[in-house]
Structure 1
Amino acid sequence: MSMDRRGFLGAAAAAPLAAGLPYRTARAQAANTIKIGALVDMSGMYRDVTGQTSVAAVRQAVQDFGPRGFNVEVVAADQQNKPDVGVNVTRTWFDRDGVDCLVDVATSSVALAVNDICREKNKVHLNSSAATSDLTGRLCSPNMVHWTYDTWMLANSVGGATVRAGGHSWFFITADYAFGHALERDTAGFVRAAGGRVLGSVRTPFPGTSDFSAFLLQAQASNAKVIGLANAGSDTINCVKQAAEFGLGRRGVRLASLLLFITEVHSLSLRTAAGLIVTESFYWDLNERTRAFTARLRQQVGPNPAIASTHAGTYAAALHYLKAVQDIGVAAAKASGAETVARMKAMPTDDDAFGHGTIRADGRKLHPSYLFEVKKPEESRGPFDYYKLLQTTAADRAFRPLAEGGCPLVRA
């Protein structure tokens, strides 16, 4: 049976599968259809790093996978960065709409909430946008794969490099939810391990904070050499802009943006973001394969959006999932998300966004991480030419060691 391209290239909320079909035909088609739900932020502070581009990335994965004897349907919903909304959508998708797999799942608090439901319902959770390393630590699940990045990786790369460059004293401005807490915790550990000191921190309400002036002044008053921004999205953009307005850089204070996507660099402009240090696991201009993937995705989203690592992770995770479904069979994949994830772990990964890789027992997808510096305007050669590579961390050292995460799935 050929894949129905019109179904997944249509509206985000797909039409009921059985509409206009005889009952037996509809049941047969449903039994041979894998349904993927993209749980994204469509309208909030993370819309640029997830949103419609992540939905397009799933569709690109389906297109690149090609017709392989079963149908694939893609639906999408806005979880509004609220755990209760994410939980309600997920339960409806699983209980009523026949969704087999969640992808993207932005915001750590939402990801942790729906992770429990995926395990309860024995469905698949492929996370590319939430950052908390607890997803492969104490809260790991046999139904989950964590793809693109996590707070341990970011802390390991940015925190260690900044201390080695002379940033020995830190103050954190932290988004007050699971992601911010995990990022501050992991980075503070690396700062102290490298001989640095944490002089204090402040928690900022999430979501809804736009004025960070009081928090920046509190950080400045601590006399820390480094202000660690344990936030993301528009929070990071506002912090960087307001810090520039206060002239913190001219006063010898360095900003360490612990999670900065190319979408934020684009919003800030090179004039404002130049010199910031960024850790990524994907950059569109890394090699021929990343450029080829980006070119294909741009045919769907157009020339304007920046293609972030989260979009690439959503694509790669969905593509590997479909390969596992083909390997295990549609019936088996629909019957058990845990068995499907086990097959994903047993198969080596290979895609144009990340190249070759593996998935560990705790669900952590392994690939290199890259430390970049944002270019000055005069160094950029064209649209989205924003980064220069400083160092590469190999896949086996980029993420937390397997034995240190506390994942119950890992046998001692």
Structure 2
Amino acid sequence: MKTNHAGKKRLQQAAAIALAAAAVAGNAMAQDPKMSDGVVRIGVLTDLSGTFSDFAGKGAVEAVKMAVEDFGGKVNGVPIDVIAADHLNKADIAASTAREWIDQRKVDMITDISGSATALAVIKVAGEKKRISIVTGGGTTRVTNEDCTPYSLHYNHDTASLANVAGKYIVKQGGNSWYFITADYSFGYSLQADTTAIIEAAGGKVVGSVKHPFNTSDFSSYLLQAQSSGAKIIGLANGGADTINAIKTAAEFGMLSPASKQKFAGLLMFINDVHALGLKTAQGLFITEGFYWDLNDETRKWSQRFYKRMGKMPSAIQAADYSSTMHYLNAVKAAGTDDPDAVIKKMKETPVNDFYTKNGKIRADGLLVHDMYLMQVKTPAESKGPWDYYNLRATVPGDDAYPPLSASTCPLLKK
């Protein structure tokens, strides 16, 4: 009996060892060293409560989640996780959130990063820690010039493309004298400087400018200064609620009436802004966009899916959030790893072909070069229904919309 008991005990021990070995082997297979910690984690760092929340915000988070769902929820056998946070449009909060995400939560890629100051803060942290960052919601050209990193990409638009498309067209139409109302932060400075260069190159001139605080509600004094300048074009080098408030005040002052000798150029506006203003106020405005939901069958199909989830049509930024996330995940799959060096290399060598853009190219400085669109806001009589807001006036090829790579001051480039 003792011998049988001992033999049974040895069999139980052997079975336990075998189970433990199998568990270790299973864990080893799950923790593929090519896929770091066994999960690909994407962080959507956006404006969830402030001036950019309508065209970024919750819609940006939802667009990224749509991309993950469409991809299948896993890549190279590991799950894809999406987390989000509000950077409150403060660079220090954005930087500390990015640092905590990377150090503590093992985030592999950070996207959206609406706002130029927050974008610059995040790409610096991500670059130092060798994590990929994709800016879709910040416009400053510094992202792919003096502040570029080996791990940062710039999607959707920058101030140079906005200036190239809007500035050239308006000057050609006779709008050759400008006065700027500019947001007092890096994005506003870049947009005014880039547009000024385009205006002057086209034979126009800038007669003056005034800076306003970020997220202000009173534009009266700024508009009166612009009005007294006599400039043919008042350029709004701002975005979000600032642009909307400026246009609403201008309408109250009668500055947007058809009889006015001065016209307005919304240098960074989105379809959400037009929706908030209404066609009666916004009609006739020229707007540069990187995407419009009603361009073709593909854009309409995806945008209708977004509409069912969010109750509104997507902005260009939100469409870019989806596209950039899908491009990232495809690169992870193709590279067979989430190693940032391998993934960024694959992203740069692979064209972007989806509903958002065709034959988009990510350059060595991290800039996605793609077609841009000059839109003019429809009159109420022209619109066939809700969200039918734009007439397409020009499709500008990416190589014309963006400055050439030779003009980039990105330190990664070998001059």
Counterpart of 2:66, as a letter, is Q
Aligned: 1:342 with 2:345: yes
Q: Secondary structure at the match of 2:61?
A: helix
Alignment of 1:10-409 (within 5 A): 28=31, 31-66=37-72, 67-68=74-75, 69-207=77-215, 209-249=216-256, 250-301=259-310, 303=311, 305-330=312-337, 333=338, 335=339, 337-409=340-412
Q: Secondary structure at the match of 2:359?
A: strand
Give the Cα–Cα distance (whole angstroms) in 1 for the partners of residues 361 and 197 of structure 2.
27
Q: Is the 8 A contact 1:39 1:105 kept in 2?
A: yes
Q: Which runs of 5+ in 2 are unaligned?
A: 1-22
Give the Cα–Cα distance (whole angstroms) in 2 for the partners of residues 299 and 25 of structure 1.
40
1:180-208: per-residue Cα shift (whole Å, max 9, x none)?
0000000000111111111111110113x
1:326-349: per-residue Cα shift (whole Å, max 9, x none)?
11123xx2x4x2432121001122
Q: Is the 8 A contact 2:376 2:391 kept in 1?
A: yes
Q: Is the 8 A contact 2:99 2:126 kept in 1?
A: no
Q: Is the 8 A contact 1:266 1:306 kept in 2?
A: no
Q: Is the 8 A contact 1:290 1:354 kept in 2?
A: no
Q: Secondary structure at the match of 1:350?
A: coil
Q: Is the 8 A contact 1:142 1:342 kept in 2?
A: no
Q: Secondary structure at the match of 1:155?
A: helix
Q: Is the 8 A contact 1:37 1:75 kept in 2?
A: yes
1:296 Cα deviation after fit:
2.3
Q: Secondary structure at the match of 1:379?
A: coil
Q: Comparing 24-33 with 194-203, which one deviates more in the overlay? A: 24-33
1:153 Cα deviation after fit:
0.3
1:338-373: per-residue Cα shift (whole Å, max 9, x none)?
432121001122222223322111111121011010
Counterpart of 2:354, as a letter, is D
1:222 Cα deviation after fit:
1.2
Counterpart of 2:303, as a letter, is T
Partner of 1:3: none
Give the Cα–Cα distance (whole angstroms) in 2 for the partners of residues 338 and 158 of structure 1.
36
Counterpart of 1:379, as a letter, is E
Give the Cα–Cα distance (whole angstroms) in 2 for the partners of residues 126 and 33 of structure 1.
19
Q: Comparing 48-57 with 242-251, which one deviates more in the overlay? A: 242-251
Counterpart of 1:317, as a letter, is S
Counterpart of 1:219, as a letter, is A
Give the Cα–Cα distance (whole angstroms) in 2 for the partners of residues 322 and 354 of structure 1.
17
1:25 Cα deviation after fit:
5.2
Q: Secondary structure at the match of 2:381?
A: helix
Give the Cα–Cα distance (whole angstroms) in 1 for the partners of residues 227 and 280 of structure 2.
23
Counterpart of 2:363, as a letter, is R
Partner of 1:13: none
Partner of 2:18: none
1:411 Cα deviation after fit:
2.3
> Quick one: percent identity of the two aligned structures?
44
Give the Cα–Cα distance (whole angstroms) in 2 for the partners of residues 134 and 31 of structure 1.
32
Give the Cα–Cα distance (whole angstroms) in 1 for the partners of residues 137 and 364 of structure 2.
20
Counterpart of 1:61, as a letter, is A
Give the Cα–Cα distance (whole angstroms) in 2 for the partners of residues 202 and 25 of structure 1.
61
Counterpart of 1:318, as a letter, is T
Give the Cα–Cα distance (whole angstroms) in 1 for the partners of residues 290 and 283 of structure 2.
20
Give the Cα–Cα distance (whole angstroms) in 1 for the partners of residues 354 and 68 of structure 2.
13
Counterpart of 1:92, as a letter, is E
Give the Cα–Cα distance (whole angstroms) in 1 for the partners of residues 201 and 359 of structure 2.
31
Q: Is the 8 A contact 2:287 2:374 kept in 1?
A: yes
Q: Is the 8 A contact 1:260 1:279 kept in 2?
A: yes
1:299 Cα deviation after fit:
3.4
TM-score by length of 1: 0.90
How large is the Cα RMSD of the aligned pairs? 1.7
Q: Is the 8 A contact 2:178 2:233 kept in 1?
A: yes
Give the Cα–Cα distance (whole angstroms) in 2 for the partners of residues 150 and 142 of structure 1.
18
Give the Cα–Cα distance (whole angstroms) in 2 for the partners of residues 251 and 265 of structure 1.
20
Q: Secondary structure at the match of 1:229?
A: strand
Give the Cα–Cα distance (whole angstroms) in 1 for the partners of residues 97 and 223 of structure 2.
37
Q: Secondary structure at the match of 1:285?
A: coil
